[in-house]
Chains A and B, each alone.
Chain A
Amino acid sequence: MSAEELMKERLERIETVLKGKEPDRVPVTGATTVWHGRYAGYTAKEVLFDYEKSKDAALKVARDFDFDTFTPIIGLEGMIYTVAFLNQPEISSAARFILGPTHLVLQDVYSRWPGYELDENAHPQFIGKEIMKVDEYDQLIENPLEFINKVVMPRINKKLADVGSAEYNAALTKYGLELARFGAFMAELSMEMAKIGYPTIPMSWAYAPLDLIGDFLRDIKNIVLDLFRVPEKVKDAVEAVKPLIIKAAEISAPPVEVRKQLFGTDVVECFYPLHLNEYLNPKLYSEFYWPSLNDIFHKVAEMGQVNFVLFEGKHDAHLETLLEAPKKKVVGVFEKTDPRKVREVLGDHVILVSGPPNSLLIGGTPQKVEEYMKSLLEDCKEGGMMIWPGVDGGISRDAKPENVKAMVDAVKKYGKY
């Protein structure tokens, strides 16, 4: 099959699932932070800081494995930057992830990187930090955009600490250059991928409001304690940041004409990783987490986008709430919730994404992987689903290539309709 035909076939397969229907077979969408580098013989540091090497490694993986899409996610969570730059759509959208090079330029206090704070083969890590004190909730609530720009940004970024200094001005300028360089890399990668028959699905960015406050302002432990100690403040803060996230989703999506012209499709996946969902008991979840998240799900669906949501950890206790979400407008990647249970509780209300856990790709054998995939596909593929190997952050650095290959082969064998 020619690259063009392959591209058409793969794109159609994914579009069909995203529209809530069954395609010819279940699509398998690969994503990783450093596994492509390991496979191509590069260190983690090399694929995170040298875009040429990351591109080379991603293309090698795409050629050697028959995925339907393959995406290197070479950044860490950075939604606070997207929100901070909300009034400049082109910067806002590009600023979604903390990248190795932008970490060096701004020296953010959240993240640790291979070759710098960590060994050159370590996975980069978002650690977070208490940026906003508990007595500053009122300032956030009163004017969140101003508070994030004036107070939060200088605290997050060591190089922006002294507002207006020579160092500050230089750092911001360099940051802009790095974002442009990253944008060029992504565009080029997308073009090179197309040449070998791999589509790229357009994306936009959203976040659960409570996660934005937990991940970037208060840190995980403090946000949980706040729910017990200052619940009303947290509730008001959630409502205050919600419109900013809705706006982020709106401006980060490429316009329909651009989607069709550049990506050959009208669909757009609005991406959210959920973090506090697993932490919260059902009472806290339904009081502080779910209502605002559900509002955003509906708004994003009204914008003509599909919510693409990583339900990290176990979402079992909260599954039923998803019946309130817009039907077939939420694609759910479930990390540790049994996909059979998702089907049982939600039917086809949510578009199911599942896959083998990384522990199996690391420690298992091709035969074990095949058995796992056979059972998963036979039990769950009815009504349409997608496979996302390594259901947390994508394929782990230490996943064995033969296991990944066995996974793709099993999708072709057992994923047909």
Chain B
Amino acid sequence: MADVREEFVNALADLDEAKTIELTKRRVEAGEDPFAILEDVRKATDIIGKRFEEGRYFVSDLIMAGEILKQIMDIVKPLIGEKDGEKKGKVVIGTVEGDVHDIGKNIVIALLEAEGFEVVDLGVDQPPEAFVNAIKEHNPDVVGLSGLLTEAIESMKKTVEAIKEAGLRDRVKIIIGGGRTDEEAKEYVGADDWADDAAVGVRKIKALMGVE
């Protein structure tokens, strides 16, 4: 069994789509504990993130990884049902008002879910109130404000202000994410951190939660 597990982790980390899916099916058919499969998915996702940060993988590789992860989840999730296992933490994420882009956000969600986090996806073009309400309802550890446009920076600022006004700022960590975010934007918005690519975003979200 150890061999299959290692083979699976390597195939996924190397983004070998056909082999990963075949191995997933084989493991499920062999009656393996789905949580063991998920544990291996986390291991492989971690390797993928590291390779990205080392400059070996690029966005193209994260897109492929997200696609493979989605297929694995489609096979494994029905086996787990409601007893979802212990979650490492909860993230509310959405694209801010005035921006309808979601490629980056969706990669982050795929990676976070693969790593065992619970993610509430608010969708795109979400006004500050939507984030405020989601914090009240879901009580997340981290809130992710996503946006591609430079105009999203202003919306992120307004969203952080609305969270402050609602008295919720101390209850959550806030990260802004998107191609045009940087230190300057983070300061202006009043967020706790920023990320201009998905793998770094996932690492920083984990750091904000104090999770390894």
Residues of A within 8 A of B (CB): 112, 118-119, 121-123, 125, 127, 220-221, 224-225, 227-229, 276, 278-282, 284, 313, 317, 336, 357-360, 362-364, 390, 392-393, 396-398
Contact = CB atoms under 8 A, between A and B. Distances in A.
Contact of B60 (A224, A336, A358): A224
B64 A362 contact: no
Contacts, number: 101
Contacts of A121: 98
Given A363-B188, A392-B180, 17 more contacts: A118-B125, A119-B97, A122-B99, A123-B98, A123-B149, A127-B101, A221-B63, A280-B60, A358-B150, A358-B180, A359-B184, A359-B185, A363-B153, A363-B189, A396-B149, A396-B150, A397-B150
Interface in B157-212: 179-182, 184-185, 187-189, 196
Contacts of A123: 98-99, 149, 151
B51 to A, nearest CB: 10
Interface of B: 15, 17, 55-61, 63-64, 67, 97-101, 103, 125, 149-151, 153-154, 179-182, 184-185, 187-189, 196
Given A123-B151, A220-B103, A221-B103, A364 B58 contact: no
A112 B63 CA distance: 24
A317 B58 CA distance: 10
Contacts of B181: 359
Contacts of B151: 122-123, 396-398
Give the interface centre of B101, B151, B188 by most chain A CB atoms within 10 Å.
Answer: B151
29 contacts: A118-B125, A119-B97, A121-B98, A122-B99, A125-B101, A125-B149, A220-B103, A224-B63, A225-B67, A227-B60, A228-B15, A228-B17, A228-B64, A229-B17, A280-B60, A281-B58, A281-B61, A284-B58, A317-B55, A336-B179, A358-B153, A358-B180, A359-B182, A362-B185, A362-B188, A363-B153, A363-B187, A397-B154, A398-B154
- 8 nearest A-B residue pairs (beta carbon): A363-B188, A396-B150, A358-B150, A281-B58, A122-B98, A279-B59, A359-B184, A359-B185
B184 A279 contact: no
Contacts of B60: 224, 227, 276, 279-281, 284
A257 B100 CA distance: 44
B48 to A, nearest CB: 12
Contacts of B56: 281
Given A359-B150, A364-B184, A224 B64 contact: yes
Contacts of A282: 58
B101 A359 contact: no
Contacts of B97: 119
B188 A127 contact: no
A310 to B, nearest CB: 13
Nearest to A221: B63
B153 A280 contact: no
Contacts of A357: 180, 182, 184
A398 B150 contact: yes
Contacts of B187: 363
A363 B103 contact: no
A376 to B, nearest CB: 15
